[in-house]
Structure 1
Amino acid sequence: MKIVRFGIGFLLAGALGHTASFAQPLPAVKQVSFKRDTINIKAYGAVADGVTLNTVAINKAIEACSKKGGGVVVVPNGFWLTGPVVLKSNVNLHLKTNAILQFTQDFNQYPLVKSNWEGLDQMRNQSPLSADGQQNIAVTGTGIIDGGGDAWRMVKRDKLTETQWKRLVASGGIVGEDGKNWYPTEKNLKGSKMKNPGEIKEGKTAEFYESIKDYLRPNLLVFIGCKKVLLEGVTFQNSPAWNLHPLLCEDLTVRNVYVKNPWYAQNGDGIDLESCKNVIIENSTFDVGDDGICIKSGRDEAGRKRGVPTENVIVRNCVVYHAHGGFVIGSEMSGGARNIYVSDCSFIGTDIGLRFKTTRGRGGVVEKIYCNNINMKDIPGEAILFDMYYAAQDPVPLAGEKRDAPKVQLLPVTEATPVFRDFHISNVVCDGASKAIFIRGLPEMNISDIYLSDVTVKAEKGIDIQEAKNIQLNNIQLKAAKTSPLIYISNGNKVNFTRIGYEKADVLMEVSGANSGNITVNGTDVNKAAKKLLAGAEVSEKAVQMP
């Protein structure tokens, strides 16, 4: 068994299968350890009748366990209604089989607290399950944690059937003036009309935050600044906003969890790792309403000021069903991301497979990203996407929705200019996508150093590369329905294609942009195409070299 060395420890790579082919060393993650002492929440008065609010009993059990040096707090078989639960150091909150920890839909049980949302310091309702600055903590077992999210979320009409929409409206709440959105309360509707209403700013009063309280939806689980954390075996479902949100955590293991949200769940992400270090996510399943497995590190100036990247992360043997993206980085990545290893994952029906997104204003550097052995099926959008023009929209337009391409203009490079570079993606198979590969950088900051190899995609469209340099594609097999062109390049420099396989093409490659150059095609039967190259008038005659 091969031992891979890393600056923070060792990891036995032989157990990773194909992951051992990564050229870079993999991180080690310190694991939790608990005393065998156990406390049953019933000993503190908890009642499993689905009516009694067990907030005090559960938190007393956790507090007592932690003060005694730690151990296991057991949630036994039963239906346990509760308000917010706060985890303490050296405590393993363990849910037995058929235990449901149901967080109440009574908003009054969730006080407003200073927290963080989408990379900014904001007021939010207290998260159902939280920990702050704790060490050696865990949530384990085989039970279910339900965040009661349906009571909090607005819902878009276009995401429901007519029957579902009528049933939702009949349940109460408010339909917006345009008839396209349903809001659970007046406070939720009021907050939805504001930009970043929860952002903590001078002049905002407690009365103001209270007036939009219902809009300030909590994430289901928020662990902040915690070390040695384990999430294992549990089903986390129905979150008001994001499902799992570790922030500034170190040595985190997520194993064998099932993360579940309705597909229409607004901001219903699976897991968002934000400014975390030394992480393993493995053998887990995600089926959610927004991004599945997502890497973040703060937003814009606030994220750059924090300056803490998400780094040293392993994601392996995971399945993502519905999600906006299977594995995602961004868009709030202003503190950077690096040393991320993704392997042996399947994305089934995710809007986009591998999704890397940012926009001007973010800043931050995303680099040293490695993806290997990725299988995809029925992807409505792009199989592999890099986009520096993220516009905070669903990746796949709804029926009748019209979107214009962003205006391309050259702007000065500043600390707010994001950087995407040094990605290595190999051994990808996708059966069904709208577009195989999409790479779109900025004129002032091209996406660079992207290495794609051994990729097979069946899609409507082939490859689209814009404002990018040093893009290396080796053994890319394309089965595309639309082949005029099969490959499109705009202002791409040092783009190399080796062994591109395809059945047919009206136009193999179309090139535009005065900055396009050093484009080569090797080991490819270009004569199968009706037309090999279509070049714009501004493109140099020597810009493209092919047989």
Structure 2
Amino acid sequence: MVFYQRSTLATLLFLGLIRFSVVECRRNLLLESYVTYPAINCRKHTALLTDFGGNGDGIASNTAVFQAAVQNLSQVADDGGAQLIVPPGKWLTGSFNLTSHFTLFIQSGAIILASQDAGEYPLVEPLPSYGQGRDGPGGRFSSLIGGSHLTDVVVTGDNGTIDGQGSVWWKKFNRKKLRNTRPYLIELMYSNQVQISNLTLIDSPSWFVHPVYSSDIIIQDITIRAPVDSPNTDGINPDSCNNVKIQDVNVVSGDDCVAVKSGWDEYGIQLGLPTERVIIRRLICNSPNGAVIALGSEMPGGIRNVRAEDITAINSQSGIRIKTSPGRGAYITDIFVDGMNLQSIDCVFWTTGSHGEHPDLSYDAKALPVIDRINYRNVVAEDVKMVGNMGGIDGDPFTGFCLSNVTIGFGTQQENLVWNCTDVSGVSSNVIPEPCDVLAEKGPSDCEYPPDPIPIDIVELKSCSFST
């Protein structure tokens, strides 16, 4: 039988400022209540946020508390790692970073409440694959929960909440008052073995979950909520990442529910880090101003081998949307979608080669993207305005589309033109209504969907616990 250890507060060292030494741990041998949860790895050491002076009244700032707790627990990274438990309460905080071999566990009834004070989010440099911030030419406000060059990091809970309190940031953005990019809710960079799960995330200032330059990522059992008119509140954006699983996620937001990216124009081309080997499964989406799944528009590192299955959406702008333009270069290829059930969708299949939105005027208009081998099968949609709006680039046609077993029903706001295809080519089978001539009938066979799993899909989570 394995006993899990719980820490007690170590001796306080008073050297002008209070510092914490490594939390000493003890074994819980008495009868106690245990919380169990699935994770990529379990931890030997446990501490509560209150061990470090945390105040859960929703008023007092806990920024220094979170920072001190993580710094303290980083010292046992090589001794089985540590888990920091956020107990019930409202824990106001600004930006803080995580560490390796570490779990942040947010209990049911606990809310990590993002400070609305911009001074609580230090400015950092633009991402190298973007060249500048997404909201303006300056840098970026640090994400609420961040980290870089980490290994084995878990952000999870038993449906605890992270509240980004984004309204003040949305107002600044809409009034064009921002030179620097708004904070993201969770952003992990240059990291591997990442898990984000079993949480409710609400009202991010901008993107909710942004793994970037990272690998071996599991994002599952997440609820994401933001007003449908909130700007750029994308749900999950894997960006120049490899081996990613996004599963059992429910998103209501003001932008794309899942957006797969890999940098921006010449900066992304120069860095050359693709996003590849991604599985998106059992996604539920509601986004009137965004796509259920977007590929791009920032994609000049390339996007390859993305799979989506068992996708559900209602009241969304588009089902699958491919967004690119001259200047992006690279490729979007080997995309496989199997099983979409859509209701009240403006356009089911939307592809555009003229998305624009360049970081500056230094992009190379001759850097044209390659779009090829895009497979959609087993798609049912009702109350649709338009089936397909599929446009490539003049002189750079998008090729290799395959559509099979697609049935689309229209609502009262049906467009006069239900298919629009320009500079694209491919094949189709059993598609209703009949597609464009450039999507030639190929007979009764289905479009391809790979039978072999990607590596992250066979990772088994361990059963971890702590005592309360």
Q: TM-score, normalised by structure 1?
A: 0.68
Distance 1:457 1:220, change over 3 A: same
Counterpart residue identity of residue 444, structure 1: G
Counterpart residue identity of residue 368, structure 2: T
Match of 1:97 among 81, 103, 108: 108
Corresponding residue of 1:497: 441
Q: Give the Cα–Cα distance (whole angstroms) in 2 for the partners of residues 312 and 499 of structure 1.
A: 29
Q: Give the Cα–Cα distance (whole angstroms) in 1 for the partners of residues 311 and 424 of structure 2.
A: 27
Q: Give the Cα–Cα distance (whole angstroms) in 1 for the partners of residues 245 and 54 of structure 2.
A: 33
* Residue-by-residue CA offset, 1:346-372 (whole Å, 9 max, x unaligned): 011111111111111111111000000
Q: How far 1:245 moved relative to its partner?
A: 0.8
Q: Give the Cα–Cα distance (whole angstroms) in 2 for the partners of residues 415 and 135 of structure 1.
A: 39
Q: Give the Cα–Cα distance (whole angstroms) in 2 for the partners of residues 456 and 496 of structure 1.
A: 17
Secondary structure of the residue aligned to 2:316 is coil
Q: Give the Cα–Cα distance (whole angstroms) in 2 for the partners of residues 487 and 55 of structure 1.
A: 55
Corresponding residue of 1:47: 55
Residues 1:354 and 2:320 are matched in the alignment: yes
Q: Give the Cα–Cα distance (whole angstroms) in 2 for the partners of residues 125 and 414 of structure 1.
A: 30
Residues 1:319 and 2:330 are matched in the alignment: no
Secondary structure of the residue aligned to 1:39 is strand
Q: Does the CA-based 8 Å contact 1:439-1:447 persist in structure 2?
A: no
Q: Give the Cα–Cα distance (whole angstroms) in 1 for the partners of residues 124 and 365 of structure 2.
A: 34
Q: Does the CA-based 8 Å contact 1:119-1:297 persist in structure 2?
A: no
Alignment of 1:41-440 (within 5 A): 41-69=49-77, 70-116=81-127, 119-122=130-133, 123-141=139-157, 142-154=159-171, 183=175, 188-189=176-177, 191=178, 212=179, 215-322=180-287, 324-379=290-345, 381-391=346-356, 416-440=367-391
User: By percentage of residues, which structure has more helix?
Assistant: 1
Alignment of 1:434-473 (within 5 A): 434-459=385-410, 460=414, 461-469=417-425, 471-473=426-428
Q: Give the Cα–Cα distance (whole angstroms) in 1 for the partners of residues 129 and 349 of structure 2.
A: 24
* Residue-by-residue CA offset, 1:325-382 (whole Å, 9 max, x unaligned): 0011010011100011100110111111111111111111110000001110001x21
Secondary structure of the residue aligned to 2:58 is strand
Distance 1:77 1:310, change over 3 A: same
Q: Does the CA-based 8 Å contact 1:384-1:436 persist in structure 2?
A: yes
Distance 1:182 1:425, change over 3 A: closer
- Structure 1: any 5+ residue segments left out of the alignment? 1-30, 155-172, 174-180, 192-211, 394-412, 479-485, 501-547
* Residue-by-residue CA offset, 1:218-253 (whole Å, 9 max, x unaligned): 212111101000000111221111111110110000
Secondary structure of the residue aligned to 1:289 is coil
Counterpart residue identity of residue 190, structure 2: G
Q: How far 1:34 moved relative to its partner?
A: 2.7
Q: Give the Cα–Cα distance (whole angstroms) in 1 for the partners of residues 321 and 174 of structure 2.
A: 29
Comparing 234-243 with 445-454, greater Cα deviation is found at 234-243
Secondary structure of the residue aligned to 1:474 is strand
Q: Does the CA-based 8 Å contact 2:296-2:322 persist in structure 1?
A: yes
Corresponding residue of 2:465: none
Q: Does the CA-based 8 Å contact 2:384-2:409 persist in structure 1?
A: yes
Q: Give the Cα–Cα distance (whole angstroms) in 1 for the partners of residues 119 and 365 of structure 2.
A: 44
Instruction: Report the aligned-residue RMSD.
Output: 2.1
Structure whose alpha-carbon radius of gyration is higher: 1
Q: Percent identity?
A: 28
Q: Does the CA-based 8 Å contact 2:206-2:231 persist in structure 1?
A: yes
Q: How far 1:279 moved relative to its partner?
A: 0.4
Secondary structure of the residue aligned to 1:342 is strand
Q: Does the CA-based 8 Å contact 2:228-2:252 persist in structure 1?
A: yes
Q: Give the Cα–Cα distance (whole angstroms) in 1 for the partners of residues 435 and 192 of structure 2.
A: 47
Secondary structure of the residue aligned to 1:116 is coil
Secondary structure of the residue aligned to 1:56 is helix
Distance 1:41 1:83, change over 3 A: same
Counterpart residue identity of residue 42, structure 2: F
Q: How far 1:42 moved relative to its partner?
A: 0.1
Q: How far 1:217 moved relative to its partner?
A: 1.2
Distance 1:279 1:117, change over 3 A: same
Q: How far 1:58 moved relative to its partner?
A: 1.4
- Structure 2: any 5+ residue segments left out of the alignment? 1-38, 134-138, 359-363, 445-468
* Residue-by-residue CA offset, 1:395-451 (whole Å, 9 max, x unaligned): xxxxxxxxxxxxxxxxxx976101110011100000121111222111211110111
Q: Does the CA-based 8 Å contact 1:139-1:232 persist in structure 2?
A: yes
* Residue-by-residue CA offset, 1:180-200 (whole Å, 9 max, x unaligned): x953xxxx53x4xxxxxxxxx
Q: Give the Cα–Cα distance (whole angstroms) in 1 for the partners of residues 88 and 383 of structure 2.
A: 42
Q: Give the Cα–Cα distance (whole angstroms) in 2 for the partners of residues 245 and 117 of structure 1.
A: 15
Q: How far 1:72 moved relative to its partner?
A: 0.9
Distance 1:487 1:279, change over 3 A: closer
Q: Give the Cα–Cα distance (whole angstroms) in 1 for the partners of residues 382 and 128 of structure 2.
A: 35
Q: Give the Cα–Cα distance (whole angstroms) in 1 for the partners of residues 427 and 174 of structure 2.
A: 46
Q: Does the CA-based 8 Å contact 1:112-1:126 persist in structure 2?
A: yes
Comparing both chains, which one has the higher relative contact order based on Cα–Cα distances under 8 Å and sequence gaps of 6 or more?
Answer: 2
Counterpart residue identity of residue 382, structure 2: D
Q: Give the Cα–Cα distance (whole angstroms) in 1 for the partners of residues 59 and 88 of structure 2.
A: 16
Q: Does the CA-based 8 Å contact 1:84-1:128 persist in structure 2?
A: yes
Counterpart residue identity of residue 440, structure 2: N
Secondary structure of the residue aligned to 2:55 is coil
Q: Does the CA-based 8 Å contact 1:118-1:332 persist in structure 2?
A: no
* Residue-by-residue CA offset, 1:503-546 (whole Å, 9 max, x unaligned): xxxxxxxxxxxxxxxxxxxxxxxxxxxxxxxxxxxxxxxxxxxx
Q: Does the CA-based 8 Å contact 2:320-2:349 persist in structure 1?
A: yes
| Runs of 4+ off more than 6 Å | none
Q: Does the CA-based 8 Å contact 1:476-1:499 persist in structure 2?
A: no
Q: Does the CA-based 8 Å contact 2:67-2:96 persist in structure 1?
A: yes
Q: Give the Cα–Cα distance (whole angstroms) in 2 for the partners of residues 90 and 138 of structure 1.
A: 8
Corresponding residue of 1:545: none
Distance 1:182 1:329, change over 3 A: closer
